Amino acid sequence: MTTTAPALFTPAGPDASVPRWSSRVLTADDRSEVLALFTEPDFYYRTERPGTRPEWEILKLLGDDTRLLLADGRLAGLFAVEALGLPHICHYQLHLRLHAAAPLAWWISTYQEVVRATRWRHEVIRLAMRFAKFDERGLQFARAAGLTNEGTLAGVMVHAGRHCGQVFFAQTWEPSS
Amino acid sequence: MMLRGYRSSDSRLLSGPWLDGELAGLPLACWPALAERSAVPPPSGPDEELCIASGVGFVRYTELDWVHRRARVETGLQPGHADAAGPLLQAAVAYGLADLNLHKLHGWVTPATGVAATAPDLAGFRLEASVPDGIWLDGRAVERQLWAVIRPD
Protein backbone atom coordinates (compact mmCIF):
# COMPACT_ATOMS: atom_id res chain seq x y z
CA MET A 1 0.00 0.00 0.00
CA THR A 2 1.38 3.41 -0.88
CA THR A 3 0.51 6.86 0.24
CA THR A 4 -0.48 9.35 -2.42
CA ALA A 5 0.36 12.30 -0.22
CA PRO A 6 3.84 13.84 -0.17
CA ALA A 7 6.30 12.36 2.29
CA LEU A 8 5.70 13.76 5.72
CA PHE A 9 8.11 16.23 7.18
CA THR A 10 10.27 14.64 9.84
CA PRO A 11 11.43 16.95 12.59
CA ALA A 12 15.18 17.00 13.01
CA GLY A 13 17.76 18.92 14.93
CA PRO A 14 18.08 19.94 18.56
CA ASP A 15 15.08 22.31 18.47
CA ALA A 16 12.78 19.68 17.11
CA SER A 17 12.87 17.26 20.03
CA VAL A 18 9.47 15.79 20.61
CA PRO A 19 7.96 14.32 23.75
CA ARG A 20 6.73 10.79 24.33
CA TRP A 21 3.08 10.86 23.33
CA SER A 22 0.26 9.03 25.01
CA SER A 23 -3.49 9.46 25.13
CA ARG A 24 -6.42 8.55 27.26
CA VAL A 25 -10.12 9.13 27.74
CA LEU A 26 -11.21 12.24 29.64
CA THR A 27 -12.28 11.83 33.23
CA ALA A 28 -14.12 14.19 35.55
CA ASP A 29 -10.77 15.06 37.16
CA ASP A 30 -9.49 16.44 33.85
CA ARG A 31 -12.32 18.88 33.39
CA SER A 32 -10.72 22.06 34.72
CA GLU A 33 -7.48 21.47 32.84
CA VAL A 34 -9.35 20.81 29.59
CA LEU A 35 -11.56 23.85 30.05
CA ALA A 36 -8.41 25.92 30.53
CA LEU A 37 -7.27 24.95 27.03
CA PHE A 38 -10.32 26.69 25.62
CA THR A 39 -9.31 29.97 27.24
CA GLU A 40 -6.60 30.23 24.57
CA PRO A 41 -8.15 32.42 21.88
CA ASP A 42 -6.89 30.22 19.04
CA PHE A 43 -7.62 26.80 20.52
CA TYR A 44 -9.84 25.96 17.55
CA TYR A 45 -11.00 22.52 18.58
CA ARG A 46 -14.39 22.02 16.91
CA THR A 47 -15.09 25.73 17.33
CA GLU A 48 -13.84 28.98 15.86
CA ARG A 49 -14.66 30.92 19.04
CA PRO A 50 -12.99 28.91 21.84
CA GLY A 51 -12.43 31.74 24.29
CA THR A 52 -16.10 32.59 24.70
CA ARG A 53 -17.60 29.08 24.78
CA PRO A 54 -19.42 28.23 28.01
CA GLU A 55 -18.67 25.03 29.89
CA TRP A 56 -21.78 23.17 28.72
CA GLU A 57 -20.93 23.86 25.10
CA ILE A 58 -17.30 22.80 25.50
CA LEU A 59 -18.44 19.50 27.04
CA LYS A 60 -20.73 19.04 24.06
CA LEU A 61 -17.87 19.78 21.66
CA LEU A 62 -15.70 17.21 23.38
CA GLY A 63 -18.36 14.52 22.94
CA ASP A 64 -17.37 10.98 23.81
CA ASP A 65 -14.73 10.57 21.12
CA THR A 66 -12.23 13.21 22.28
CA ARG A 67 -8.99 11.90 23.70
CA LEU A 68 -6.46 13.77 25.80
CA LEU A 69 -3.06 14.14 24.17
CA LEU A 70 -0.32 13.81 26.76
CA ALA A 71 3.26 14.93 26.13
CA ASP A 72 5.49 13.07 28.57
CA GLY A 73 2.37 12.53 30.66
CA ARG A 74 1.24 16.17 30.71
CA LEU A 75 -1.81 17.50 28.89
CA ALA A 76 -0.76 19.06 25.59
CA GLY A 77 -3.94 19.01 23.55
CA LEU A 78 -6.94 17.09 22.29
CA PHE A 79 -7.79 14.95 19.32
CA ALA A 80 -10.67 12.98 17.91
CA VAL A 81 -10.97 10.81 14.83
CA GLU A 82 -14.45 10.88 13.41
CA ALA A 83 -15.78 8.56 10.70
CA LEU A 84 -17.26 10.44 7.76
CA GLY A 85 -20.05 8.37 6.31
CA LEU A 86 -20.22 4.63 6.73
CA PRO A 87 -17.19 2.91 8.28
CA HIS A 88 -16.48 0.78 5.21
CA ILE A 89 -15.79 3.93 3.19
CA CYS A 90 -12.62 4.37 5.29
CA HIS A 91 -12.94 8.15 5.27
CA TYR A 92 -12.14 9.93 8.52
CA GLN A 93 -11.86 13.44 9.81
CA LEU A 94 -9.22 14.36 12.36
CA HIS A 95 -9.76 17.08 14.92
CA LEU A 96 -6.40 17.93 16.46
CA ARG A 97 -5.32 20.83 18.61
CA LEU A 98 -2.27 21.43 20.76
CA HIS A 99 -1.88 24.21 23.30
CA ALA A 100 -0.37 27.49 22.14
CA ALA A 101 3.10 26.76 23.52
CA ALA A 102 3.52 23.58 21.48
CA PRO A 103 6.11 24.00 18.71
CA LEU A 104 5.45 22.98 15.13
CA ALA A 105 7.56 19.84 15.56
CA TRP A 106 5.08 18.63 18.20
CA TRP A 107 2.20 19.06 15.77
CA ILE A 108 3.99 17.05 13.11
CA SER A 109 5.02 14.36 15.54
CA THR A 110 1.61 13.95 17.13
CA TYR A 111 -0.06 13.90 13.71
CA GLN A 112 2.22 11.04 12.67
CA GLU A 113 1.36 9.17 15.86
CA VAL A 114 -2.36 9.72 15.31
CA VAL A 115 -2.08 8.43 11.76
CA ARG A 116 -0.20 5.35 12.93
CA ALA A 117 -2.78 4.72 15.64
CA THR A 118 -5.73 5.26 13.30
CA ARG A 119 -4.35 2.90 10.65
CA TRP A 120 -3.39 0.28 13.26
CA ARG A 121 -6.72 -1.56 13.26
CA HIS A 122 -8.68 0.16 10.48
CA GLU A 123 -8.15 0.77 6.83
CA VAL A 124 -7.91 4.50 6.18
CA ILE A 125 -8.20 5.78 2.64
CA ARG A 126 -8.68 9.43 3.40
CA LEU A 127 -7.91 11.37 6.55
CA ALA A 128 -9.21 14.91 6.33
CA MET A 129 -8.56 18.02 8.37
CA ARG A 130 -10.12 21.47 8.12
CA PHE A 131 -8.69 24.77 9.24
CA ALA A 132 -10.20 28.22 9.14
CA LYS A 133 -8.46 30.74 6.90
CA PHE A 134 -7.56 32.75 10.00
CA ASP A 135 -6.09 29.75 11.85
CA GLU A 136 -2.42 30.48 11.32
CA ARG A 137 -1.08 27.67 13.49
CA GLY A 138 -3.35 25.11 11.89
CA LEU A 139 -2.50 26.17 8.36
CA GLN A 140 1.22 26.28 9.13
CA PHE A 141 1.04 22.72 10.45
CA ALA A 142 -0.97 21.40 7.49
CA ARG A 143 1.51 22.83 4.98
CA ALA A 144 4.57 21.69 6.94
CA ALA A 145 3.11 18.19 7.27
CA GLY A 146 2.70 17.95 3.53
CA LEU A 147 -1.06 17.47 3.62
CA THR A 148 -2.81 17.95 0.32
CA ASN A 149 -4.66 21.24 0.09
CA GLU A 150 -8.01 20.30 -1.41
CA GLY A 151 -9.44 23.79 -1.61
CA THR A 152 -11.26 26.43 0.35
CA LEU A 153 -14.93 26.63 1.09
CA ALA A 154 -15.48 30.36 1.09
CA GLY A 155 -17.58 32.31 3.54
CA VAL A 156 -18.65 29.47 5.81
CA MET A 157 -17.70 31.19 9.07
CA VAL A 158 -17.48 34.64 10.56
CA HIS A 159 -14.37 35.98 12.24
CA ALA A 160 -13.70 39.52 13.45
CA GLY A 161 -16.79 40.75 11.71
CA ARG A 162 -15.98 39.29 8.31
CA HIS A 163 -16.94 36.12 6.52
CA CYS A 164 -14.05 33.68 6.19
CA GLY A 165 -13.39 30.44 4.40
CA GLN A 166 -12.38 27.04 5.62
CA VAL A 167 -9.43 25.22 4.03
CA PHE A 168 -9.74 21.48 3.45
CA PHE A 169 -6.65 19.29 3.75
CA ALA A 170 -6.24 15.54 3.50
CA GLN A 171 -3.83 12.66 3.33
CA THR A 172 -4.90 9.68 1.25
CA TRP A 173 -3.83 6.08 0.81
CA GLU A 174 -4.54 3.60 -1.95
CA PRO A 175 -7.50 1.32 -1.14
CA SER A 176 -6.48 -2.25 -0.33
CA SER A 177 -8.94 -3.61 -2.88
CA MET B 1 -1.44 -21.35 37.23
CA MET B 2 -4.55 -20.71 39.32
CA LEU B 3 -7.64 -19.22 37.73
CA ARG B 4 -10.23 -17.49 39.86
CA GLY B 5 -13.47 -15.58 39.41
CA TYR B 6 -13.54 -11.95 38.30
CA ARG B 7 -13.92 -9.12 40.83
CA SER B 8 -14.46 -5.46 39.99
CA SER B 9 -11.01 -4.75 41.45
CA ASP B 10 -9.54 -6.75 38.53
CA SER B 11 -10.83 -4.30 35.92
CA ARG B 12 -7.37 -3.02 34.98
CA LEU B 13 -6.51 -6.51 33.72
CA LEU B 14 -9.26 -6.33 31.08
CA SER B 15 -7.49 -3.90 28.77
CA GLY B 16 -4.02 -3.87 27.29
CA PRO B 17 -1.87 -3.70 24.16
CA TRP B 18 -2.85 -7.04 22.66
CA LEU B 19 -4.81 -7.85 19.55
CA ASP B 20 -8.44 -8.31 20.52
CA GLY B 21 -9.84 -11.79 20.37
CA GLU B 22 -6.40 -13.39 20.27
CA LEU B 23 -5.89 -16.85 21.72
CA ALA B 24 -2.51 -15.89 23.12
CA GLY B 25 -3.10 -12.23 23.89
CA LEU B 26 0.50 -11.23 24.40
CA PRO B 27 1.33 -7.54 24.87
CA LEU B 28 2.73 -6.10 21.64
CA ALA B 29 5.75 -3.85 21.98
CA CYS B 30 4.93 -2.14 18.67
CA TRP B 31 1.50 -0.95 19.84
CA PRO B 32 1.06 2.69 18.66
CA ALA B 33 1.23 5.20 21.49
CA LEU B 34 -2.10 6.82 20.62
CA ALA B 35 -4.04 3.68 19.62
CA GLU B 36 -6.83 2.58 21.90
CA ARG B 37 -5.96 -0.44 23.97
CA SER B 38 -7.96 -3.57 23.36
CA ALA B 39 -10.51 -4.30 26.05
CA VAL B 40 -13.07 -6.90 26.98
CA PRO B 41 -16.16 -6.11 29.03
CA PRO B 42 -16.40 -7.40 32.58
CA PRO B 43 -18.50 -10.55 32.81
CA SER B 44 -22.15 -9.77 33.39
CA GLY B 45 -24.15 -12.86 32.54
CA PRO B 46 -24.15 -16.56 31.76
CA ASP B 47 -23.29 -16.10 28.08
CA GLU B 48 -19.58 -16.09 28.78
CA GLU B 49 -17.06 -17.16 31.37
CA LEU B 50 -14.16 -14.95 32.37
CA CYS B 51 -11.44 -16.02 34.78
CA ILE B 52 -8.54 -14.08 36.23
CA ALA B 53 -4.92 -15.05 36.74
CA SER B 54 -4.10 -12.69 39.60
CA GLY B 55 -2.01 -9.74 38.51
CA VAL B 56 -1.21 -11.42 35.18
CA GLY B 57 -4.22 -11.43 32.88
CA PHE B 58 -7.50 -13.07 32.01
CA VAL B 59 -9.03 -15.98 30.14
CA ARG B 60 -12.34 -15.42 28.42
CA TYR B 61 -14.60 -18.16 27.09
CA THR B 62 -17.05 -16.59 24.70
CA GLU B 63 -19.45 -17.68 21.92
CA LEU B 64 -20.32 -20.43 24.39
CA ASP B 65 -22.44 -23.18 22.89
CA TRP B 66 -23.52 -25.47 25.70
CA VAL B 67 -25.40 -27.79 23.35
CA HIS B 68 -22.43 -28.56 21.15
CA ARG B 69 -20.06 -27.94 24.07
CA ARG B 70 -17.68 -25.54 22.42
CA ALA B 71 -16.37 -22.01 22.94
CA ARG B 72 -13.92 -19.51 21.61
CA VAL B 73 -11.09 -18.67 23.97
CA GLU B 74 -9.17 -15.43 24.18
CA THR B 75 -6.61 -14.27 26.70
CA GLY B 76 -4.95 -11.01 27.62
CA LEU B 77 -1.66 -10.70 29.39
CA GLN B 78 -0.35 -7.55 31.00
CA PRO B 79 3.01 -6.13 29.91
CA GLY B 80 5.83 -7.91 31.67
CA HIS B 81 3.97 -11.22 31.83
CA ALA B 82 4.48 -12.55 28.32
CA ASP B 83 6.19 -15.65 29.68
CA ALA B 84 2.94 -16.60 31.41
CA ALA B 85 1.19 -17.25 28.08
CA GLY B 86 1.92 -20.98 28.09
CA PRO B 87 0.83 -21.68 31.67
CA LEU B 88 -2.24 -19.44 31.24
CA LEU B 89 -3.39 -21.30 28.14
CA GLN B 90 -2.73 -24.67 29.77
CA ALA B 91 -4.87 -23.59 32.72
CA ALA B 92 -7.50 -22.30 30.28
CA VAL B 93 -7.65 -25.63 28.48
CA ALA B 94 -7.79 -27.61 31.70
CA TYR B 95 -10.60 -25.47 33.09
CA GLY B 96 -12.53 -25.31 29.82
CA LEU B 97 -12.46 -29.00 29.07
CA ALA B 98 -12.71 -30.36 32.59
CA ASP B 99 -14.67 -27.88 34.69
CA LEU B 100 -16.84 -26.32 31.99
CA ASN B 101 -17.16 -29.75 30.40
CA LEU B 102 -16.63 -28.36 26.91
CA HIS B 103 -15.65 -30.64 24.04
CA LYS B 104 -13.81 -28.14 21.86
CA LEU B 105 -12.05 -24.83 22.37
CA HIS B 106 -10.87 -22.65 19.52
CA GLY B 107 -9.19 -19.28 19.15
CA TRP B 108 -7.50 -16.85 16.79
CA VAL B 109 -3.78 -16.56 16.21
CA THR B 110 -2.34 -13.73 14.10
CA PRO B 111 1.18 -14.56 12.88
CA ALA B 112 1.86 -10.94 11.83
CA THR B 113 2.01 -9.89 15.45
CA GLY B 114 5.37 -11.61 15.49
CA VAL B 115 4.18 -13.68 18.41
CA ALA B 116 5.14 -17.28 17.80
CA ALA B 117 2.36 -19.82 18.11
CA THR B 118 4.31 -21.84 20.62
CA ALA B 119 2.01 -21.08 23.54
CA PRO B 120 -1.13 -22.49 21.87
CA ASP B 121 0.95 -25.41 20.65
CA LEU B 122 2.18 -26.17 24.14
CA ALA B 123 -1.36 -26.10 25.46
CA GLY B 124 -2.45 -28.75 22.97
CA PHE B 125 -4.00 -26.50 20.33
CA ARG B 126 -3.57 -27.48 16.67
CA LEU B 127 -3.77 -25.31 13.57
CA GLU B 128 -7.12 -25.92 11.87
CA ALA B 129 -7.36 -23.23 9.23
CA SER B 130 -5.72 -20.21 7.73
CA VAL B 131 -7.85 -17.20 6.89
CA PRO B 132 -6.08 -14.96 4.34
CA ASP B 133 -6.57 -11.23 4.96
CA GLY B 134 -8.49 -12.16 8.07
CA ILE B 135 -7.82 -9.02 10.10
CA TRP B 136 -6.62 -5.47 9.61
CA LEU B 137 -3.36 -4.70 11.35
CA ASP B 138 -0.85 -1.88 10.99
CA GLY B 139 -2.06 -0.55 7.66
CA ARG B 140 -2.75 -3.85 5.89
CA ALA B 141 -4.88 -6.96 5.92
CA VAL B 142 -3.03 -9.94 7.37
CA GLU B 143 -3.57 -13.66 7.77
CA ARG B 144 -5.37 -14.99 10.80
CA GLN B 145 -5.34 -18.61 11.85
CA LEU B 146 -7.84 -20.75 13.70
CA TRP B 147 -6.36 -23.02 16.33
CA ALA B 148 -8.37 -25.54 18.33
CA VAL B 149 -8.06 -28.21 20.95
CA ILE B 150 -10.49 -31.12 21.19
CA ARG B 151 -11.12 -33.09 24.34
CA PRO B 152 -9.96 -36.67 23.94
CA ASP B 153 -13.26 -38.26 25.10
Output phi, psi for A175, to 5 deg.
-60, 150
Mean pLDDT score across all residues of chain B = 92
Mind listing the domains of chain A with CATH numbers?
20-172 (3.40.630.30)
Percent of chain A with pLDDT over 70: 91
Reply yes or no on whether the pLDDT at A42 is more than 60.
yes
Residues of B in contact with A120 (CB under 8 A): 31-32, 35, 137-139
Q: Which residues contact A20 (CB under 8 A, 6 or more apart)?
A: A71, A72, B33
Mean pLDDT, residues B70-89: 93
The mean pLDDT of B14-37, rounded to a whole number, is 93
Residues A95-149 pLDDT 10s: 999 999 999 999 999 999 999 999 999 999 999 999 999 999 999 999 999 999 9
* 3-state helix vs strand vs coil in chain B, percent to 5: 20, 40, 40
ipTM: 0.70
Q: Do B33 and A113 touch (CB under 8 A)?
A: yes
Note whether A20 contacts B138, CB cutoff 8 Å: no
Identity of the residue in B32, B34, B140 whose CB atom sits nearest the CB atom of A1 = B140
Which among B38, B43, B41, B40 has a CA at the least distance from the CA of B6? Answer: B43
What count of CB pairs under 8 Å joins A to B? 43
DSSP state of B26: P
| Residue A167 pLDDT grade (very low, low, confident, very high; cuts 50, 70, 90) | very high
Distance CA B72, CA A88 (A): 26
A65-92 pLDDT, tens digit each? 999 999 999 999 999 999 998 878 899 9
| CA dist., res. B128 & res. B141, Å (int) | 20
| Rounded-to-integer distance, Cα B129 and Cα B107, Å | 11
Q: What is the pLDDT of residue B116?
A: 61
Yes or no, beta carbons of A21 and B34 under 8 Å apart: yes
pLDDT at A15 over 50: no
Inter-chain touch B35–A22, beta carbons under 8 Å = no
| Per-residue confidence band for B121, with pLDDT thresholds at 50, 70 and 90 | confident
Domain ranges for chain B, please list them.
4-150
Predicted local distance difference test score (pLDDT) of residue B117: 61
At the top level of CATH, the class of B4-150 is alpha beta
